[in-house]
Amino acid sequence: MRKIFTLFILLLLLPVTALAAGEDAPATLYVGETDITAGGYWKTTDDGKLTSGGASANDYNVHYDGNGTLTLNKATIHGRDDVIQADPQDYGIYAALASNQSVSLTINLIGSNTVRGHEGIRVNAPTGGNAALVIQSDVNDSKGSLEAIGSGWNGIKVSAQSGNASLTINNASVEASTESQSYVGVSLASLIASAPILSLTVNGGSLTAQGKSGIRYFSGGGTNPSTSLTVSGSALIKAI
């Protein structure tokens, strides 16, 4: 029987946020099967793929500014979803930095959005540095929402090879789930750091995480990581 753990906390605390800086912008950014690292505007098709045809600043589902901020506007996204070997095209959203630096991605939400792939969203610092993901309602929509679904792996994973990993949700409704019995809704991981900081912050809005574990902190460095769950504003967290 699955255990349902629900936290409903009303607190007035200073929010902890992490903004994507240009120097930490992903060197590789795939949305669905499309490499959008250079930036631009796209529409999504019925099968969750991206097309630049007819997309503009006034009519789009996906916009990337080329500098670390991705906007989803009523977007339905589906990665290639190859379960044999997960390449960047197989994730719903995949962001990584190839060099020994930190990587940070901010996702702004307008309306209701769905992202699906072998792993729904992966932000990855594969060779060093920190990995950070911020999901928030866009300034033009205070009630933006996102559903991230992993068909084979996690719903959302933020992973650093030898640094810290963080997920921040600001005034948005986020659901992260996996269809696999072996993986989790939200995973924060540092693979070889000796004392990493793994942090999850929800500042307003809500997070629902469902899987083998709803939320998982993982450190492979041989020592206990510093883990935190910070809730501020009027926020709901449900881990299933």
Q: What is the pLDDT of residues 112-129, one digit of tens each?
A: 999 999 999 999 998 888
Please list the helix, strand and coil fractions of the chain in percent, rounded to the nearest 5, in that order: 0, 50, 45
Position 39 confidence tier, pLDDT thresholds 50, 70, 90: very high
The stretch 197-217 carries a mean pLDDT of: 96
CA contacts within 13 A on the Cβ side of 151? 15
Flag whether pLDDT at 168 surpasses 90: yes
User: How many C-beta atoms lie closer than 10 Å to residue 32's C-beta?
Assistant: 30
**For all residues of the chain together, what is the average pLDDT?**
88
| Strand runs labelled E in 100-239 | 103-110, 112-117, 121-125, 131-137, 145-150, 156-160, 165-178, 186-190, 197-210, 215-219, 226-239
User: 201 or 84: which carries more pLDDT confidence?
Assistant: 201
SS3 of residue 103 by DSSP: strand
Per-residue pLDDT band for 17 (boundaries 50, 70, 90) equals: very low
Q: How high is the pLDDT of residue 12?
A: 28
pLDDT tens column, 144-157: 999 999 999 999 99
Rounded CA gap, 193 and 137, in Å?
Answer: 32
Q: CB of 225 within 8 A of CB of 197? A: yes
Amino acid at site 13: L
| Parallel, antiparallel or unpaired: strands 69-73 and 62-64 | antiparallel
Spatial separation of the C-alpha atoms in residues 181 and 197, rounded to whole Å: 27
φ/ψ of residue 88, rounded to 5: -50, -35
Q: Mean pLDDT over residues 208-214, rounded?
A: 96
What pTM was computed for the model?
0.89
Closest to 129 (Cα-Cα) out of 15, 16, 27: 27
